[in-house]
Structure 1
């Protein structure tokens, strides 16, 4: 089985880069169609769902909390106040830089993969995961993809020309 590092850091970097490319396509599409960027950035699929900036912030926050809770890295404060494509791109770049700064040689991967993780959420209480591996596979990766998928769906709903390869970019290698 691959290490916790291999299952998380390169995967998250790959999909954050894909999110960045989708945002580039969205901004270009808006400019070509004469749409206000604000109309894309504030759109909600349903009234009770969050807009695009929240989805990108949640990608970043999922990564941040994985790094803090499982990889035992210091917390970094991110304000969750991005309102433009440029600010969201900066957020993605910051998140990728953080991931790239983590070296597997500095982590006790066997220990963190097997230790229980307590996730504290002020509004709803604490949740226990039996291990870092469980936190990654049952919470961090699914939550990450939930928000990436929601961002993709917002953009597709608005007509941005995206397809599966935009989401999965870099997964397939021609032979």
Structure 2
């Protein structure tokens, strides 16, 4: 069975961004129930030198939109990283999902052997193929950001479990 580049990217990222929204909603509910400000969660970190929760969401959405754009030969849209509330993060996730939904399989399929250049604030990365870019850079980074967001919430007492991360099957 052949799995296409599109199937391996866009639908997977849309699904996981939806799960990210779900765990963030649980974070808000937990903050309200325990009577603390949501900014505690937004600024939560696992270690002092790691990004806070809000930055994890920003990077996850950047990875998703960047992946779809670059695999289809476009430059990704740039979002300002000034999200300061959960509602703003939800809007960012929704905007990213809407953007991902504009892509069709034929725009991304066939990119597995095409070189990809990724320009970020950290510099320019060159990948020999779209498949290397997707499987060795985007997927691990995307899941790392969402996993770390999950763990920050969990570390702050939010009752989330594996089913929240994976969703229903």
TM over 0.5: yes
- State the secondary structure of the residue aligned to 1:120: strand
What's the offset of the Cα at 1:44? 1.6
Provide the alpha-carbon RMSD of the alignment.
1.4
Unaligned runs of 5+ in 2: none
1:140-155 correspondence runs (5 A) = 140-155=138-153
TM-score under structure 1 length normalisation: 0.90
Q: Does residue 127 in structure 1 map to residue 119 in structure 2?
A: no
TM-score under structure 2 length normalisation: 0.93
Please name the residue that 1:42 is paired with. 43
Q: Moved runs in structure 1, 4+ residues, more than 2 A?
A: 118-123, 125-128
CA contact (8 A) 2:116 2:133 kept: yes
CA distance in 2, matches of 1:95, 1:47: 28
1:26-105 correspondence runs (5 A) = 26-105=27-106
Please name the residue that 1:136 is paired with. 134
CA distance in 2, matches of 1:56, 1:120: 19
Unaligned runs of 5+ in 1: none
CA distance in 2, matches of 1:75, 1:118: 12
What's the offset of the Cα at 1:139? 0.6
Question: Measured at CA, do residues 108 and 10 of structure 1 come closer, stay the same or move farther in structure 2, by a change above 3 Å?
Answer: closer
CA distance in 2, matches of 1:28, 1:99: 28
CA contact (8 A) 2:57 2:146 kept: yes
Question: Measured at CA, do residues 40 and 108 of structure 1 come closer, stay the same or move farther in structure 2, by a change above 3 Å?
Answer: closer
